[in-house]
Every structure is written in C-alpha cells, then in structure tokens.
Amino acid sequence: MSLVLKLALIGHVLSGLLALIFYYAMIPNLIGKNLQPNFLKRLSLAGLVTLLFSWILAGYYYTQYYGQSVKPIIKSGQLPWAHSILMETKEHIFLFLPFLGLVLAAACLSSKSDIDKDETLRKALAKLAFVVVALGTAVTIFGVVISGAAK
Amino acid sequence: MINATVLSAIITIIYITAITVAADLYPPLKEFLANVFSHHWIGKSITAILIFAIFTGLFLVLKPKTKPSFLLNLLTAVSILATLVILTFFTWESSR
Amino acid sequence: MDWGTFLKISHLVGTVLGVGAVTFIDYFYIRAAKDGKIEPHEAEPIRLLTPILRLGLIILIISGFGYFLLYRLTGHEERLLNPRFLAKMSVVGIIALNGLLLELKKIPIAIGGPISSVSWWSAFVLGAWRGLNLSFWTIMGSYILVVLAAILVLKAIKKVLKIEI
C-alpha cells in the first residue's frame, strides 16, 4: 500500500469517527433543557465537513485499492461474506450519511428554523442524529470485520 | 429550507437504494455507471448528489407547507427501512 | 517514540480518566445519596467529573481506532477478529450508548450507573488481560452477569443504608 493510500485509509477512519462524535454530541444538546444554538450549528457543520472528508477519502481508497488488492483476499479467505454482505452494505449505506448530515446542518443553520421554540422539531432532529450515529457505528463495525478478514 | 432538504434527502435515499439493487440485478446498468463515471460507486455518489441538488432546488421553489418534524420523522423511517432493504438484499444475493 | 507506544500511552490515559472518573462518581453518588437527597454541593463533584469521563471515552475511542489502523497497516489484521478485542469494542459501545441514555434520562441511575461502572472496569480488564482465551459470547455473557450482579448489589446497598433515591 502506498503512503497516499495509507493516509486515505487513516483519514477516512479518523474523519468518520470524528463525525460520529459530533453527531453523538448533538443528541443531548437537542433534547436537553439548555439549548445552545451556536454550539449546535458548529457541531452540525463539523459533522458534515468530516463526513464529506470521509466520503472522498473512502472513495479514493475503495476505487484505487480495495477492489484490486483487498477484495480478492477476502473472497478467497475464510470470511467471504465480509465482502459480499458487509462491504457491499457498508459502501451503499455510507452514501446516505452525507445527505442526512446536510439535512441536520440545514436545520441548525437556517435562520428561519424554529429550533429554539419547537420541541417537536428538536426531538425529530435528535432522532435523525441518532440514526446517523447508529448507521455510522454499523458501518464502522463492518469496516473492522472487513479489515480483519483481509488476511 | 428544512422541508426542501428533507424531502430531497428522502428521494435521494430511495434512489440510492433502488440503483444499488437494480445495478446488482442488471449488470449492464452497473457497467454503464462504471463506463461513464470510471467506477459504479462514483457513479452512484455523483448521481445521488445531482438528484439531491435538483430536488432541493425544486422544493425551494415549490415551498411545501408540511410540518418539518413530520418530514424529519419520515426521513428517519425511510433511512432505517432503506438500510434493512440493502442489508437483506446483499444477504440474499450472497446466499444465491 | 513509535506509533505503538504513542497509542498505548493515549489508550491508557483514556482508560485512567474514564475508570477513575466513573469510580469516583460512584463513590460521591453513594455518599451523597445516604441521607435520601442529593444537595447541590454534593452533586458538584459528580458534575465536575462528568466531562473528565467524556474526555476519557473520546480518547479511548480515538486511540482504540488508532490501534485498529496500526494492525491493519502492519499486517496484523487477524487481531481485529480476536474475541477479546471484539468484546472490548462492544463494551465501549455500550458505555457510549448507556451514557447517552443516562444523559437523556431514558434509564434510571439505578440501572445506568452499574452498567457504566461495570463497563468501564470490564473494558480495562479486557484490555489488560492478554492471556484471556475465551469466545466472544462467553466474555459478553460473563459481562452481562456481572452487570446484573452490580445492579442487585446496588439495590442491596441502598436497602441496607436506607437510601430512598
């Protein structure tokens, strides 16, 4: 693996992890009693930016290396389903996340949003943030198992 | 703006799910994406972005009056359902 | 200093902060709850320790994934499927989820508290116990039993000390 590919893999994992932390932090802020609109805005923006980084770096690693060098090893190894189920699922579910992140950012950054007055809206946003965290966690766990199967 | 992005996200996620299943069941579609965009996954990513952008623009003009919290809950439900569809599909395909 | 050593130190720092904070939170909670109500000044140490706990968890998770990358990039991928490693990741996931549920008051302290304490100490033990050679399900089964025991022990302590909360 070249240095660029190593950096892409490291960047993909770490930026994805940071995104999860930001969205995780949004949830109690949305539901709790002490709403901090500016903090929420920063979290939603940071979450979106880190997700986009993770997307681009994942795309580079996946299209330039995974298909030719990792996938054959997994498919001929002891856990072929790590590719056929986990990787196939992961690479497509991941595509949902930036759009969910965009929605959360739009809601938090919009000046017309009633986020500070509308509790029902905040709860709905918290549920969506939780889904981002849950899907992101699933995608992360799949990534660990896929990497483990690449030997 | 919230309603426009939420509705577009719902449509985009449904599109991603549909193109994922369709491209795997109909290899020429996957090949088409790979030929045009250099890789099928890049093709799905770019077309998803285009669909999101187009529909967001459309809904910003149409200004749907639905309650944002209802649409957000719908988006949450669609995301979960789409995930289950994709997981089930690849599990089924793997067992074929 | 090589990356392995840097990650080891970071991971230990995260563990120390998390395990230390949760242990002292438990101590201050039991001490404060003895008379049936928690005064604001009694809640203060718990309030001050909570950000330390969160910081420990963040450092633990990031350095944990640092290990994942190190194994992946140095040809030790088989370690990623080690039952002890997978169990530890699961327990850390439970710490994060439990923390969120406690913050949102979706579960009572009587349940969430023991889960938090047992999980942090379990993660610490799983990390330190190199020779542990059990299956993932045996480790997780044992962990669940210890959590249930902790919940019952806390209930017994509250009964003996006549703590209402």
User: Tell me, what's the ipTM?
Assistant: 0.94
Say whether pLDDT at C165 is over 70.
no
Give the per-residue pLDDT at A62.
Answer: 94
Sorted by where each begins, the domain ranges of chain B are 2-95
Residue C44 within any structural domain of the chain: yes
Average pLDDT over residues C78-97: 92
Question: Which chain B residue lies closest to A112 (C-alpha atoms)?
Answer: B1
User: Contact at 8 Å (CB) between A15 and A57?
Assistant: yes
Distance, in angstroms, between B61 CA and closest chain A CA? 16
What confidence tens digit (pLDDT) does each residue in A86-145 have? 999 999 999 999 999 999 999 999 877 678 888 899 999 999 999 999 999 999 999 999
- Chains near A with 3+ CB pairs less than 8 A apart are B, C
For chain C, what is the mean pLDDT?
90
Q: If you count residue pairs, one on A and one on B, with CB atoms under 8 Å apart, how many are there?
A: 99
Question: Which chain A residue lies closest to C101 (C-alpha atoms)?
Answer: A28
Residue C76 within any structural domain of the chain: yes
Question: Which chain A residue lies closest to C55 (C-alpha atoms)?
Answer: A21
Mutate to test the interface with B, among A95, A141, A146 (most CBs of B within 10 A): A95
Number of C-beta neighbours around residue C54 at 10 A: 18
Give the separation between CA C38 and CA C29, rounded to whole angstroms. Answer: 8
> DSSP per residue over chain A, as a string?
--HHHHHHHHHHHHHHHHHHHHHHHHHHHHHSSS--HHHHHHHHHHHHHHHHHHHHHHHHHIIIIIIIIIHHHHHTSS-THIIIIIIHHHHHHTTHHHHHHHHHHHHHH-TT--TTT-HHHHHHHHHHHHHHHHHHHHHHHHHHHHHHT--
Average pLDDT over residues C128-152: 93
Q: Does A147 touch chain B (CB under 8 A)?
A: no
Question: Which chain B residue lies closest to A64 (C-alpha atoms)?
Answer: B39
Report CA Rg, chain A. 17
Nearest to B48 among A95, A106, A138 (CB): A95
Q: How many domains does chain C have?
A: 1
**pTM for the structure as a whole:** 0.91
Check CB contact under 8 Å for C68 and A144. Answer: yes
Give the separation between CA C143 and CA C125, rounded to whole angstroms. Answer: 11
Residue C137 within any structural domain of the chain: yes
Residue C165 within any structural domain of the chain: no
Chain A, residues 119-148, CB within 8 A of chain C, namely 137, 141, 144-145, 147-148
Give the separation between CA C16 and CA C102, rounded to whole angstroms. Answer: 21
Residue C34 within any structural domain of the chain: yes
Provide the domain limits for residue C75.
Answer: 3-160
Say whether pLDDT at B24 is over 90.
yes
Chain B hits for A103, CB-CB cut-off 8 Å, are: 2, 5-6, 9, 72, 75
